[in-house]
């Protein structure tokens, strides 16, 4: 009798363990569908906007996985230093998608340590805007929708070369995403081409491509280095510019402090708005589109 009871209890415990393990497995993220060769192609991206572009181009391609090297909260890669975790991520990848245009200053180190890693430069061949002073080219191409379209096309084209077995799907995905971007670009022009005000002040040199596309005039950039605080003299100069050009709106960014913007606003009676350069956000395929839709609403209010 005692032996039967032990056997029953053992069977119950085994069933419970099977149910528990099945539930745990259901909470893990699904692995990409295996390709015909049975191998997984890992595409790493340097930071947030490259990740969003790449997951749209590689959407549902069998055996392809896109991972982001940096944390979603990293923002722009100005002066970013590679850490061991970054190199570990890249060592598992076969392709590395970067913005280029000088954004990833650490690329020499990547090439030196991982010579077999294939690199896709999203800004390849795109005419660049010169930075202020001796800063070189401005790398914030993706902030304008036209720039984002060109980068997506570049990523798609280069992926078809590096992974020709899936060329048709990369091409189809690229076309589908570009269609969405171009529809939003038309919507933004329809809403903003007749705006009463064109002069704006920003707090980071992230918006020259965006401003050029929408025919906006950036009369001043308050913080040349993102996240830095302007000096008292720089604040005074900014206040003079706001008053001289009769600026009614200051555009700060959600990734950085608005302290300086609020100081200028108090002194001049202007209003602070938040304009997002899409360097952080949800890791979702439609994130860029949603953030730009939000930017459109803010600009409609600020410029009219």
Domain ranges for the chain: 41-188, 193-303
Return the pLDDT at 226. 59
Q: State pLDDT tens for residues 203-231.
A: 888 999 999 999 999 998 886 565 567 78
Q: How many CA atoms lie within 13 Å of 153's alpha carbon, on the beta-carbon side?
A: 14
For residues 145 and 196, which has the higher predicted lDDT (pLDDT)? 145
The band of 38, judged by pLDDT with boundaries at 50, 70 and 90, is low
Q: State pLDDT tens for residues 114-153.
A: 999 999 999 999 999 998 765 689 999 999 999 999 999 9
Evaluate if residue 22 carries a pLDDT over 70.
Answer: no
Sheet holding 271-274, edge to edge: 217-221, 199-202, 249-252, 271-274
Q: State pLDDT tens for residues 102-117.
A: 999 999 999 999 999 9
CA distances from 280 to 10, 49, 76, 224 (A): 51, 8, 9, 19
Span 193-303 CATH architecture: 3-Layer(aba) Sandwich (3.40)
Q: Specify the CATH number of the domain 41-188.
A: 3.40.50.1980
Whole-number average pLDDT of the chain: 87
Average of per-residue pLDDT across 242-270:
89
CA distance 114 to 87: 9
CA distance 175 to 152: 9
CA distance 163 to 156: 10
The residues near 92 (Cβ < 8 Å, ≥ 6 apart) are 42, 44
The band of 26, judged by pLDDT with boundaries at 50, 70 and 90, is very low
**Tokens 């108090």 label which residue?**
266
CA distance 242 to 220: 9
User: Rounded to the nearest 5°, which phi and psi values hold at 181?
Assistant: -65, -45
């Amino acid at each position: 009798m005692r032996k039967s009871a032990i056997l029953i209890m053992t069977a119950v415990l085994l069933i419970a363990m099977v149910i528990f393990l099945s539930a745990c497995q259901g909470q893990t993220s699904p692995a990409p569908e295996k390709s015909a060769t049975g191998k997984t192609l890992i595409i790493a991206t340097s930071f947030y906007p490259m990740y969003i572009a790449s997951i749209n181009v590689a959407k549902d391609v069998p055996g392809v996985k896109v991972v982001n090297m940096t944390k979603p909260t990293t923002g722009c890669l100005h002066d970013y230093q590679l850490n061991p975790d970054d190199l570990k991520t890249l060592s598992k990848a076969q392709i590395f998608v970067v913005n280029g245009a000088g954004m990833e200053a650490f690329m020499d180190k990547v090439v030196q340590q991982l010579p077999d890693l294939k690199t896709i430069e999203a800004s390849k061949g795109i005419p660049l805007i010169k930075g202020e002073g001796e800063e070189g080219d401005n790398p914030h191409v993706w902030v304008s929708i036209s720039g984002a379209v060109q980068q997506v096309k570049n990523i798609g084209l280069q992926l078809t070369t590096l992974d020709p077995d899936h060329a048709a799907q990369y091409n189809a995905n690229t076309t589908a995403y570009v269609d969405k971007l171009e529809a939003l670009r038309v919507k933004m022009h329809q809403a903003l081409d007749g705006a009463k005000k064109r002069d704006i002040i920003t707090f980071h040199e992230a918006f020259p491509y965006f401003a050029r596309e929408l025919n906006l005039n950036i009369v001043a950039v308050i913080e040349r280095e993102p996240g830095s605080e302007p000096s008292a003299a720089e604040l005074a100069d900014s206040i003079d510019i706001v008053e001289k050009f009769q600026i009614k709106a200051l555009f700060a960014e959600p990734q950085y402090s608005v302290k300086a913007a609020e100081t200028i606003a108090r002194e001049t009676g202007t209003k602070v708005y938040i304009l997002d350069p899409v360097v952080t956000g949800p890791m979702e395929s439609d994130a860029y589109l949603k953030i730009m839709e939000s930017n459109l609403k803010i600009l409609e209010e600020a410029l009219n």
